[in-house]
Amino acid sequence: MTQVMGQEPNRSRISAAELQAIVGRHQAFLRGQAGGMRAMLKLRDLSHMDLSGLDLTDADLSGAKLFGTRLTRANLRQANFYAADLRLANLEGADLRKADLRGACLRGAVLSEAVLADCDLRDGTIMHVRANGDVTPHEFEAIQVSTEMSVATIRAADLSRARVSNAFIMQTDLTDAILRGTKFIRANLTNSNLTGCDLQGADLREANLSGAKLNGANLSGADLGATRFMSADLIGVIMDDATRAVANLTGAVTCRTLGEDGRDLNRMLDDHRQWVDSQGKQGVRADLSGVDLAGQDLSGRTLSAALMHCTMLRGANLSGAILPMADLSLADLRDADLTGADLRGASLERTTLTGARMAGAEIGPVQIQSNQTRLWSANLLRARFDGADLTGADMQRAVMTQASLTGANLSGANLSGASMVNADLSGARCEGINLTDADLTDARTLGAIGLPRR
């Protein structure tokens, strides 16, 4: 937002006492009480103030200066931040559902774990600030100003269905963000980190993702018409067949080629078995990171401590495979067969196991020897087990924080001592499940079948 001649608008500094009075009247307004008044903070300077936890639902902060302002856990639903200056603001955990952020500057802002579902982050129009403080569109020409979110930290935020078209989101950390159905048409996302992002159904037409990192990101159903992926890291990216057929991946970094050192898969697995049996004195540790092994038969093979980060294993047969301490983080194991597999102490962080068959799998801790014997838990942080069959699986002490188990079959599974903070068990089958000492803090269990009352 700017005045006609392009100068910074004259924002008057607000005092702590004045802000307290405005917030008090706003609370009365929200409760429908006499004397209540909506918070009108447009074109005010609130830089570096602490507004943490405040309820500013529907507040008008258009054109306000909030440089370095602290808004953590604030309720900002449907608030108006049109063309506001939010550079370096801390909005961690804030609720910005349906907020108007058109033309706002969020450069360097922190929005980790914030909820921005259905918010408007499209470009805005330069406005005319009249002498009486009214803000109206410029009469003579419509000049677009794009929303700026570059160098921001937006980890694990929820931007489902948000409108972010034409925005600048360069060098931004969007790790683990939920971007389902988000509109990124013509957005500039160059060199941004979208590791583990859920981009299902996102509209990325004509978006620029050059140099972006998308390891383990789920692009199923996304619209990738004319999307640019030059030098983007797509190792381990999840795409359905229809999406992959449309995407132009020219210049992108995709999977590694198996056998770059002249060894075929069987030779690599034999060398790894020798490495395991000799405790690293002979053979060669298998590094299959980023390799496409979709549909391969690895049943019963020894892959203990193997490196399989971002490996594509969709539909692979790993039944009875020996995988203790293996690194399967960000791997694609959709529809894979892991029946009876030994995954004790393995890392399945951000791994996609949608529809995987894991009945009887061992995913508990492994005993390791160091100065003193201790147990090493399996890491299932943010793993996606939607629709997976985990019948009778042993998942004792597993770290399952923020894991998604929607519609999974956990009947008879042993989850004693597991950490399931913020896990999603919606629609899961849980008959006969063992949850002794499991931590279900903030877990979503709506619709879970057979889950015992706690």
Q: Is residue 363 part of a domain?
A: yes
Confirm whether 357 is domain-assigned. yes
User: What pLDDT, on the 0 to 100 scale, is given for residue 235?
Assistant: 94
Judge whether residue 143 has pLDDT over 80. no
Full-model pTM: 0.88
User: Which residues form the domain of 412?
Assistant: 268-454
CA nearest to 14, candidates 69, 53, 55: 69
Q: How many other CB atoms are found less than 10 A from the CB of residue 40?
A: 16
Which CATH number belongs to the domain containing residue 376 in this structure?
Answer: 2.160.20.80
pLDDT value at residue 444: 94
Band of residue 368 on the pLDDT scale cut at 50, 70, 90: confident
Whether 221 is in a domain gets the answer no
For residue 105, is it within any domain?
A: no
Residue 296 is predicted with a pLDDT of 96
Give the residue among 206, 189, 199 at the shortest CA–CA distance from 158: 199
Q: Is residue 368 part of a domain?
A: yes
pLDDT at site 145: 62
| Per-residue pLDDT tens digits for 148-204 | 999 999 999 999 999 999 999 999 999 999 999 999 999 999 999 999 999 999 999
Q: Count up the domains in the chain and report the number.
A: 1
Condensed to tens digits (0 to 9), the pLDDT of residues 430-451 reads 999 999 999 999 999 988 888 8
Alpha helices in 209-366 (DSSP H): 241-246, 265-277
Residue 136 covered by a domain: no
In this prediction, residues 287-316 reach a mean pLDDT of: 96
Q: Can you give the pLDDT at residue 10?
A: 74
Establish if 104 belongs to a structural domain. no
Quickly list DSSP for 172-213.
Answer: -B-TT-B-TT-B-TT-B-TT-B-TT-B-TT-B-TT-B-TT-B
Beta strands in 41-123 (DSSP E): 44-45
CA–CA dist 380, 349 (Å, integer) = 5
State mean pLDDT over 236-240: 93
Residue with tokens 């050059």: 210
Q: What pLDDT was estimated at residue 1?
A: 38
In a domain? residue 80: no
Distances, alpha carbon 312 to alpha carbons 103, 224, 232, 299, 387, in Å: 40, 21, 17, 16, 19
Looking at residue 61, its pLDDT comes to 97
66: helix, strand or coil = coil
